[in-house]
């Protein structure tokens, strides 16, 4: 009943009513006893939509969705090698709001807002205020792309590009579609999982009409994030001729076992989404407790290979600073 009442609200209302109080979240889940294990961060505060909370198990301190969003005291422990800018993105920032790390594509941080604050986020320390592409900067972005004929794809990111209004998003689409050399527009987003109603008819119709190939990369880490309601919206997007891919981050104690990964790939496929990347954790400051060692991740990958068909196997990769591609993990290291 609670879930039904929430999903009757439009996505903007759900976004504005996201839970930001740790005490409220713990009370809703009957986990007040966890209060001493968590803290209230001054930066990158907790934020989680109520629809996502309804997918969590009441009374379960080890719920895999809860552990992704609940600030843990371990975040405050300084660990060598875990830094604020683990991918050196500040060095790949030729124009305000644009990152150019890969030859054929650029990434635009069109917003700093997210519907949900994942505690392992590699951009949790990113200076969005200094990297928001204003309307004046758009001309510089267009000129930059035109000056680099190898660029054929633009990735809309942030933050989460679907957290902005349709009006603002469509203005970006209009601008990018006017650049003749661009063939593909990609959106990296968590919103379809945490507020499925964001995939409204107006958005899907506009994306379906684009002259560019539209690719939507969702970020799902656990099969429990895709219930029947969420699956319905993802299937609508697929029916609108949007290519749906998924990227997952390997998170210790959350999804670093074979059954969880197999269930995730199967649930994604049933919803019209293909597994794309399985990421080793980016070594961002405050997220060391989510990291699993490389050997364990490789062993997990071999177990997945034995259970899944090739088309449901994501690529095991890590992203390293100043590399012009995502680096495939050598799975033969242990065999």
Domain boundaries, the chain: 2-76, 89-328
What pLDDT is recorded for position 335? Answer: 60
What pLDDT is recorded for position 4? Answer: 63
> Mean pLDDT of all residues in the chain?
94
The low-confidence residues of the chain, meaning pLDDT below 70, are: 1-2, 4, 335
Q: Which DSSP state fits 92?
A: S
- Tokens representing residue 116 in the block: 């949900």
| Span 166-184, pLDDT tens digits | 999 999 999 999 999 999 9
Q: 320 φ, ψ to 5°?
A: -120, 150
What pLDDT is recorded for position 1? Answer: 42
Cβ(234)–Cβ(191) under 8 Å?
no
Strands 315-318 and 327-328: antiparallel
Cβ(134)–Cβ(90) under 8 Å?
no
Name the packing angle between helices 258-270 and 294-307 (round to 10°).
50
8 CB-near residues (< 8 Å, 6+ apart):
none
Distance of alpha carbon 89 from alpha carbon 149, whole angstroms: 22
What pLDDT is recorded for position 88? Answer: 80
- Give the residue carrying structure tokens 């929430």: 6
Question: Strand 274-279's sheet: what is its strand order?
Answer: 98-102, 105-109, 153-157, 184-189, 213-219, 243-249, 274-279, 315-318, 327-328
Cβ(195)–Cβ(14) under 8 Å?
yes
Distance of alpha carbon 146 from alpha carbon 226, whole angstroms: 39
Cβ(56)–Cβ(246) under 8 Å?
no
What pLDDT is recorded for position 228? Answer: 97
Strands 327-328 and 98-102: unpaired
Homologous superfamily assigned to 89-328: Aldolase class I (3.20.20.70)
């Amino acid at each position: 009943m609670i879930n039904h009442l929430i999903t009757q609200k439009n996505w903007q209302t759900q976004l504005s009513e996201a839970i930001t109080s740790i005490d409220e979240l713990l009370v809703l889940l009957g986990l007040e006893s966890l209060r001493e294990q968590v803290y209230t961060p001054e930066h990158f505060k907790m934020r989680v939509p109520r629809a996502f909370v309804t997918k969590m198990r009441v009374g379960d301190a080890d719920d895999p969705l809860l552990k992704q969003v609940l600030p843990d005291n371990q975040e405050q422990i300084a660990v060598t090698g875990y830094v604020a800018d683990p991918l050196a993105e500040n060095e790949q920032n030729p124009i305000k709001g644009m990152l150019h790390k890969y030859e054929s594509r650029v990434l635009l941080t069109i917003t700093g807002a997210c519907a949900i604050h994942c505690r392992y986020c590699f951009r949790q320390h990113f200076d969005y205020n200094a990297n928001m592409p204003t309307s004046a900067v758009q001309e510089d972005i267009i000129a930059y792309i035109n000056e680099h004929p190898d660029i054929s794809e633009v990735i809309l990111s942030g933050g989460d590009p679907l957290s902005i209004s349709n009006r603002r998003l469509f203005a970006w689409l209009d601008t990018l579609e006017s650049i003749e050399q661009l063939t593909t527009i990609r959106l990296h987003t968590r919103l379809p999982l945490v507020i499925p109603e964001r995939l409204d008819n107006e958005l899907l119709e506009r994306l379906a009409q684009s002259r560019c190939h539209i690719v939507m990369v969702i970020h799902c880490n656990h099969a429990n994030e895709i219930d029947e309601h969420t699956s319905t919206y993802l299937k609508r997007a697929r029916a609108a001729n949007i290519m749906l891919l998924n990227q997952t981050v390997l998170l210790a104690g959350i999804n670093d076992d074979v059954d969880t990964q197999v269930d995730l790939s199967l649930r994604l496929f049933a919803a019209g989404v293909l597994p794309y990347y399985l990421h080793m954790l980016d070594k961002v400051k405050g997220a060391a407790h989510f990291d699993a060692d490389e050997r364990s991740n490789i062993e997990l990958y071999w177990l997945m290979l034995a259970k899944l068909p090739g088309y449901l196997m994501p690529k095991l990769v890590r992203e390293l600073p100043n590399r012009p591609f995502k680096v495939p993990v050598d799975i033969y290291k242990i065999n």
